[in-house]
């Protein structure tokens, strides 16, 4: 084994920050609480405060949206949050700078959520390198399915970023196996055929999908899209998921609050969800 | 960047590749939820083209319902107008404006509706800019008794009120889109979101050679009838293929339909005309190939109007159908390998051309189509005598008369 191979193999043995986090939570028999916020909504300063508050209120992992003008996978709540963030002048670079400045204080893993175009525009290598420097642990790109993800996944791995892939209720079994085996950090299970947004009920088929995936994959499963309250978090925990991602419901609370109250509102909601997540 | 395409790059069956690529353009950049539906659509289309009962029904309806074939018309007075001292080119119009519903769009809408029924989908959605694709889709849905929802930007609904009324009359639901710039780009995003949500029951009739694979290929293949007819008609009219093909390009469906059967014949010069709006050096234009950079929009990698941060820019054109910041991936590919040329025409130049064609030929072209005509001004002086030009007269201008009247101050 030459030097380079040795480095590579030792890398693959060492678990990533996300893997370590999920392992700990599993041991504690909890479910990872994963709130989503849109960076720059209403402005980056407030976003930074919200991130720290979410951490203080027990969030395990944060999903941080980088705003994009044409978010295909997002419903109206997150679309509007992205529009507000863009009007306040939020660029991908500024989001990463904000994150970099929080590096000392924000110790829980951060997964960046953005679309193909802003990412390509930055250059994949450049983006991953900057994101890793800023302390991010993973990357979710909802319009980059398996076929298009291979290149980014290896580039991300070089920067020790986990590229998380998504599985949908419409995904056929064989394809699901492939996605789960290539997804790094965890597998993102989309709970509905649809876009992000609040829903009053979770579909029973999520239970079925979690069980099915567990049969062939040891990757942690985080459920997202439509998880709107503490009841839903308990539900997916009962169904055996490893993480619950709460996006639109939180983003709505932030956008409905007056500027000064946004941080408190986010914190209060996170505390409520924490109780359900164990 | 290769400037001279190799022969194998031009072979029709090689485009797109099995993974939906035209060179580096194309692909499938969509949420995972849609991937199985795109695979299903790709397979259904392949089977349908091999199935005689499908192609016969399509051909029959194109003839009896759409009114094909459309004439290749010699525009004598327009040709005369562009005669110089040494003579000038001969201008022919491929009269897609004479199709049922007034534009080329119905070729694709009809084909996809037949496909949707083969796949057992009873609900149809579509996006529309100028309203021509929306009207064509609403029309075929009425014809086959399919539920129909059309997504249209609120701004476009104002500009194209007549087409909104037509769609409603045809029994379609027109869903106003207020997000972003409230034009074609946002209507397309909203249609894709609907499809993500209702994919199990719904077919999305995408109206241009854009979007994720297989759409750029599928839409092209349904419009290729334009070029196939033109090829035969040219042979009959003057015994050979034309020298120049000219068509407007927004997403690029009418241009691709005309170009496709001629791609392998390098002696045929192909020119796509984009919308320069108020000028390509202003911020208000839709000249994607002229001014765009590589990016991803609505599921495909292609050239794209975007800012320094990769946010999609607002496009502008007087014609709602060209008002789009993206372009079909195969056009980006043709541009890159030098197989087609792309130029841009301003709002003002298009308006002037619309008047000229109306006065010289008694044909009021759509504002979109007028962009192709406008390029004759620049093209004709450099052409040798006896050059044969075919323009895709892609749509009629009835829908635009209000816009034109306002611009030309015909109205009080």
Task: Measure B189 CA to nearest chain A CA, in Å.
Answer: 6
| Chain A residues within 8 A of B186 when measuring between CB atoms | 70
| pLDDT of B1 over the 80 cut | no
CB contact under 8 A, A168 and B32: yes
Q: Is the pLDDT of residue A4 over 50?
A: no
Q: How far is B30 from chain A (nearest CA, A)?
A: 4
Alpha-carbon distance A17 to nearest alpha carbon in chain B (angstroms): 25
**Hey, are the CB atoms on B312 and A142 less than 8 Å from each other?**
no
pLDDT, mean of residues A28-43: 97
- pLDDT tier, B183 (very low <50, low <70, confident <90, very high otherwise): confident
Question: Residue B129 above 70 pLDDT?
Answer: yes
Interchain pair B309, A91: CB under 8 A = yes
pLDDT in tens, B68-101: 999 999 999 999 999 987 788 999 999 999 999 9
pLDDT band at B180 (very low <50, low <70, confident <90, very high): confident
* CB spacing of B311 vs A92 below 8 angstroms: no
User: Mapping DSSP to helix (H, G, I), strand (E, B) and coil, where does residue B170 land?
Assistant: coil
Q: Residues B207-231: what's their mean pLDDT?
A: 98
pLDDT digits (tens, 9 = 90+) for A256-270: 998 789 999 999 999
Predicted pLDDT of residue B14: 78
Residues of chain B contacting A93 with CB distance shorter than 8 Å: 309
* CB pairs < 8 Å spanning A and B: 120
Q: B164 to chain A, minimum CA–CA distance in Å?
A: 24
Q: How far apart are CA B355 and CA B404, in angstroms?
A: 9
**Mean pLDDT of all residues in chain B?**
94
3-state SS assignment for residue B286: strand
From A57, A74, A198, A242, active-site residue: A74
pLDDT in tens, A77-123: 999 999 999 999 999 999 999 999 999 999 999 999 999 999 999 99
Q: CB-based contacts of B327: which residues, under 8 Å, 6+ apart?
A: B210, B249, B250, B251, B252, B274, B288, B289, B292, B302, B303, B304
Give yes or no: A74 in active site.
yes
pLDDT tens figures, B255-274: 999 999 999 999 999 999 99
B chain contacts of residue A147, beta-carbon cutoff 8 Å: 19, 27-28, 35
3-state secondary structure chain A: CCHHHHHHHHHHHCCCHHHHHHHHHHHCCCCEEEEEEECCCCCHHHHHHHHHHHHHCCCCCEEEECCCCCCCCCCHHHHHHHHHHHHCCCCHHHHHHHHHHCCCCCCCCEEEECCHHHHHHHCHHHHHHHHHHCCCCEEECCCCCHHHHHHHHHHHHHCCCEEECEECCCCCHHHHHHHHHHCCCCEEEECCCCCCCCCCCCCCHHHHHHHHHHHHCCCCEEEECCCCCHHHHHHHHHCCCCEEEECHHHHHHHHHCCCCCHHHHHHHHHHHHHHHHC
**Active site annotation includes B394:** yes
Token pair, residue B13, equals 């069956």
Assign A7 a pLDDT band (cuts: 50, 70, 90).
Answer: very low
C-beta atoms of A170 and B199 within 8 A: yes
A104-115 in b/e form (b: 16+ CB < 10 A) is: eebebbbbbbbb
Nearest Cα to B364, choosing from B385, B392, B393?
B393
Which residue in A has a C-alpha nearest to residue B325's C-alpha? A70
Residue among A67, A81, A143 with most chain B CBs within 10 A, to mutate: A143
Predicted confidence (pLDDT) at residue B179 exceeds the cutoff of 90:
no
Averaged over B131-135, what is the pLDDT?
Answer: 94
Residues of A in contact with B35 (CB under 8 A): 145-147, 170-171, 175
Confidence label for A230 from pLDDT (cuts 50, 70 and 90): very high
- Please give the C-alpha separations between residue A163 and each of A126, A170, A227, B315, B331, in angstroms, as whole numbers: 15, 21, 22, 33, 31
Q: What is the value of pTM for the model shown?
A: 0.95
Residue in chain A closest to B299 (alpha carbons) equals A143
Cross-chain residue pair A143–B312, CB shorter than 8 Å: no
Q: 3-state DSSP call for residue B123? A: strand
pLDDT of residue A13 exceeding 70, the answer is no
Q: Quick one: pLDDT band at residue B164, thresholds 50, 70, 90?
A: very high
* Residue numbers in B near A91 (CB within 8 A): 309
Q: Is the pLDDT of residue A3 over 60?
A: no
| pLDDT, tens digit (0-9, with 9 covering 90-100), for A191-201 | 999 999 999 99
Percentage of chain A lying above the pLDDT 70 cut: 95
**Cα dihedral value B126, B131, B136, B137, nearest 10:** 20
Q: What is the pLDDT of residue B4?
A: 63
Q: CB count, 10 Å around CB of B6?
A: 9
Give the residue from chain B lying closest to A141, CA to CA: B31
Residue of A nearest to B188 (CA): A72
Which of A24, A17, A94 lies closest to A62 in space, CA to CA? A17
Contact B31 A120 (CB under 8 A): no
Cβ contacts (< 8 Å) between B309 and chain A: which residues?
A: 91-93, 118, 121
Q: How many CA atoms lie within 13 A of B61 on its CB side?
A: 19
pLDDT number for residue B18? 87
Mean pLDDT (whole number) for B159-173: 94
Question: Would the CB atoms of A118 and B311 count as touching at under 8 Å?
Answer: yes
The pLDDT of residue A1 is above 60: no
Q: Tell me the average pLDDT across A202-226.
A: 96
A interface with B, Cβ–Cβ < 8 A, is 68-70, 72-73, 75-76, 79, 83, 86, 91-93, 115-122, 142-148, 165-172, 175, 179, 190, 192-195
Closest partner residue to A70 (CB to CB) among B32, B36, B189 is B189
C-alpha distance from A13 to closest chain B C-alpha (Å): 29
H or E element, residue B405: helix B401-407
Which pLDDT score, from 0 to 100, does residue A250 have?
A: 98
Distance from CA of B18 to the nearest CA of A (A): 12
Residues 6+ apart with CB under 8 A from B47: none
């Amino acid at each position: 084994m030459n030097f380079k191979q040795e480095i590579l193999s030792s890398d693959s043995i060492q678990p990533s920050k996300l893997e370590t986090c999920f392992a700990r939570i599993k041991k504690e028999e909890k479910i990872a609480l994963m709130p989503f916020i849109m960076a720059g909504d209403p402005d980056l300063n407030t976003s930074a405060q919200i991130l720290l508050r979410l951490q203080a209120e027990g969030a395990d992992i944060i999903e941080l949206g980088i705003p994009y003008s044409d978010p295909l996978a997002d419903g109206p709540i997150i679309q509007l949050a992205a529009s507000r963030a863009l009007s306040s002048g939020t660029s991908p670079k500024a989001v990463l700078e904000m994150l970099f400045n929080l590096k000392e204080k924000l110790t829980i893993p951060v997964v960046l959520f953005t679309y193909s175009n802003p990412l390509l525009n930055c250059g994949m290598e450049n983006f991953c390198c900057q994101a890793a420097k800023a302390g991010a642990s993973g990357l979710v790109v909802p319009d980059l399915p398996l076929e298009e993800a291979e290149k980014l996944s290896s580039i991300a791995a070089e920067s020790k970023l986990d590229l998380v892939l998504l599985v949908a209720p419409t995904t056929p079994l064989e394809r699901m196996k492939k996605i789960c085996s290539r997804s790094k950090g965890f597998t993102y299970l989309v709970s509905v055929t649809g876009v992000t947004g609040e829903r009053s009920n979770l579909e029973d088929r999520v239970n079925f999908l979690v069980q099915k995936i567990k049969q062939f994959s040891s990757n942690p499963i985080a459920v997202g899209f439509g998880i709107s309250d503490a009841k839903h978090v308990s539900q997916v925990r009962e169904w055996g998921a490893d993480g619950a991602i709460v996006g639109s419901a939180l983003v709505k609370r932030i956008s409905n609050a007056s500027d000064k109250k946004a941080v408190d509102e986010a914190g209060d909601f996170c505390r409520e969800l924490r109780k359900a997540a164990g | 960047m290769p400037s001279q395409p190799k022969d194998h790059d031009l072979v029709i069956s090689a485009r797109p590749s099995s993974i939906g690529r035209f060179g580096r353009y194309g692909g499938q950049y969509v949420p995972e939820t849609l991937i199985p539906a795109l695979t299903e659509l790709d397979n259904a289309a392949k089977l349908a083209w091999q199935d005689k009962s499908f192609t016969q029904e399509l051909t029959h309806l194109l003839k009896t319902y759409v009114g094909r074939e459309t004439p290749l018309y010699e525009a004598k007075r327009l040709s005369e107008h562009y005669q110089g001292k040494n003579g000038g080119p001969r201008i022919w119009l491929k009269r897609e404006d004479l199709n049922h519903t007034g534009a080329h769009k119905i070729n694709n809408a009809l084909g996809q509706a037949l496909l949707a029924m083969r796949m057992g989908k009873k609900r149809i959605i579509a996006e529309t800019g100028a309203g021509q694709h929306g009207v064509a889709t609403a029309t075929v849905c009425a014809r086959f008794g399919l539920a129909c929802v059309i997504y249209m930007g609120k701004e476009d609904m104002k500009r194209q009120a007549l087409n909104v009324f037509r769609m409603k009359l045809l029994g379609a639901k027109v869903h106003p889109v207020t997000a972003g710039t409230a034009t074609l780009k946002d209507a397309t995003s909203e249609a894709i979101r609907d499809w993500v949500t209702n994919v199990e029951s719904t077919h999305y009739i995408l109206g241009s050679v854009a979007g994720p694979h297989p759409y750029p290929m599928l839409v092209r293949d349904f419009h290729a009838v334009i070029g196939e007819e033109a090829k035969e008609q040219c042979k009959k009219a003057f015994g050979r293929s034309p020298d120049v093909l000219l068509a407007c390009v927004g997403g690029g469906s009418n241009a691709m339909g005309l170009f496709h059967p001629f791609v392998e014949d390098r002696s045929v010069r192909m020119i796509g005309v984009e919308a320069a709006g108020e000028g390509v050096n202003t911020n208000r234009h839709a000249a994607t190939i002229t001014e765009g950079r590589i990016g991803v929009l609505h599921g495909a990698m292609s050239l794209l109007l975007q800012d320094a941060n990769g946010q999609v820019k607002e496009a502008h054109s007087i014609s709602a159908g060209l008002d789009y910041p993206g372009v079909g991936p195969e056009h980006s590919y043709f541009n890159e390998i030098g197989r087609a040329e792309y130029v841009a025409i301003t709002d003002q130049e298009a308006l002037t051309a619309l008047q000229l064609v109306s006065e010289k030929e008694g044909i009021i072209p759509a504002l979109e189509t007028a962009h192709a005509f406008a390029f004759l001004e620049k093209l004709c002086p450099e052409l040798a005598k006896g050059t044969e030009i075919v323009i895709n007269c892609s749509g009629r201008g009835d829908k635009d008369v209000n816009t034109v009247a306002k611009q030309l101050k015909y109205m009080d």
